[in-house]
Amino acid sequence: MPGMGNSLRAAALLAFVVLSILLSLLISSVQQFGARVSHFSNATLPGDEEKLASLRGALIYQLNERRKEIIPLLLPEDGDENGLSEETRRSSRAQDPILDYNLWNEITLGSRKAHLDEMGCDSLVDMQAVEILGSGYTKLVVKVNLAGGQPVALKLVNEQGIDMGKCLEDFKDPQGCRELVSSKLQKEIVLLQRLKHPNVIKLKGHCAGGQGGGGEGGRVTVILEQGNPLQMIQLLQSPWEDRFRVCLDLVRLLHFLSQSPLGSVALLDFQPRQFVTVSGELKLTDLDDASAEETACQSDTDCTLEFPHRNFTLPCSARGVCEGLNEKRNIYNAYRYFFTYLLPHQAPPGLTHLVDHIMNSTGELKADINQTLEAFEHILLLYKSGLHLDNLPPSVVKDYTVMRGMGTSGNVEYRCWPSYSQQGCVLSVHSAKEAAYICNSHSQCNSFTLTGQKTWTGRLLAYFRSSFSHLVPDGTSEVYVKKTKALETPTV
């Protein structure tokens, strides 16, 4: 067996080395590609100068447009700008280009105001790449271990992504394109600083430019806490309690976004892939497509929310904006991407009418986010307290003999679904009464054990089985055996 252990360690080491080499080759190829494009752009004929100047002007225009998106999101520190209102500050920025560029430099160069996080470029020295977590049109996400062993996720520009490739094709300027594509990362840094919430991924820091803030311009790296990508297929096979937790976390997040420091924020790219879990808690990890803009309108017909199979018309307010549009967009997306798949299936019988009410009110946009959150919190209260079990017969547990301070060995397991264990039937229960009720409903079940282990709601984990061969001392457990089987149970 030691030889097998050494082989596994060698295989793991080899896999890590191969990944490191692949990353090195990727970086090398990107640098060479950039050098070739740069050489191409510099080796121009005199007649091309006017065309290049036009391209550069168009690129600068795009950069300024991105800057205009980010500047309103930046707030001075308390006491700055003599305590002016937000509207006045934004107006002054629009009229003062120097102030504009100073604020812009705070996120592109990592100066005092924007660098509110703990980690910077120095934190990335001697890091070790572990795996590529994902890549898209704009960004590459890599899991790394920092010098002290702490795992973090890094977001950086995907130099071989579609956005970068299209920009190089259009403008022939590698550094300018890197700055343009980096604007999404810069916007995300600001949003993560402004939208701090338990269900938003934690910004641990960022690095602008090269190590120490210098080096080639346009390079931005966002340092985030490490999460696990949300696996919907795996989640569909999880116990209802865990699926409910994901939906509850999502509603709490949407409630915060509806009244955030930036106003009501819509998630324009609302997909499960935009979320991760950290210790079982759902967190939004992609904010570059979040928007706090309100839709202007002249009549209700200007306020139509269009989805693949449903359209909704919202009221146009006296202010000339669509009332609650961002909030309602988020609610319906939560319904169609999360609630539909995760919430109704195998909900506890005592809670199904409340779950059905949530499905109806969110699927028809009859409830706002405050009402939706209240409905979820009410279900959580009932589920944790066991009040939804009031209809269970109190005598159900009397059919069992209880042996406290004992565990079992030689177990004969059976499987149930969904279970916290793939090898047996492990479910969460509020009390021994609920566990006895479940055991009575399973034809294979003759006993169950409560170990004191608890889920995130504080409910107990119960282990159900067909039989066991011995009772063994265990101060943290208690075994319940159907009285018809109790006389057959040997002890040690």
pLDDT tens-digit readout, 281-330: 999 999 888 999 889 999 999 999 999 989 999 999 999 999 999 999 99
Q: What is the CA radius of gyration of the chain?
A: 29
Domains 229-389 and 400-482 share a fold: no
Per-residue confidence band for 154, with pLDDT thresholds at 50, 70 and 90? very high
pLDDT tens for each residue of 23-49: 443 444 334 334 433 444 444 555 577
Domain regions of the chain by residue span = 101-226, 229-389, 400-482
Across 96-105, average pLDDT: 50
Q: Which two tokens stand for residue 423?
A: 């090898």
Q: What is the side-by-side strand order in the sheet with 151-157?
A: 128-135, 139-145, 151-157, 220-225, 203-208
Residue range 427-476, pLDDT digits in tens: 999 999 999 999 999 999 999 999 989 999 999 999 999 999 999 999 89
Question: What's the whole-model pTM score?
Answer: 0.81
Q: Distance (Å, rounded) from C-alpha 426 to C-alpha 421?
A: 6
What percentage of residues in the chain have a pLDDT greater than 90?
Answer: 52
101-226 CATH: 3.30.200.20
| Residue-level length of the chain | 492
CATH among 3.10.129.10, 2.40.128.20, 3.50.4.10, 3.40.718.10 for 400-482:
3.50.4.10
Specify the range with the lowest mean pLDDT, choosing from 70-74, 87-91, 368-372.
87-91
Paired sense of beta strands 304-306 and 311-313, if any: antiparallel
Q: Is the pLDDT of residue 488 over 90?
A: no
Question: From CA 168, how far away is CA 160, in angstroms rounded?
Answer: 11
Cβ atoms of 360 and 326 closer than 8 Å: no
pLDDT at res. 105: 60
Burial class (CB in 10 A: 0-12, 13-18, 19+), 161: middle
pLDDT (mean) for 354-370: 97
What is the architecture of the domain spanning 229-389? Orthogonal Bundle (1.10)
Q: From residue 367, how far is each of 335, 372, 373, 377 by CA, in Å? A: 12, 6, 10, 15
Q: Are strands 281-284 and 290-291 parallel, antiparallel or unpaired?
A: unpaired
Is 269 known to be catalytic? yes
Indicate the pLDDT class of residue 173, thresholds 50, 70 and 90: confident
Peptide bond before residue 418 is cis, with ω within 30 degrees of 0: yes
Catalytic choice (269, 302, 356, 368): 269
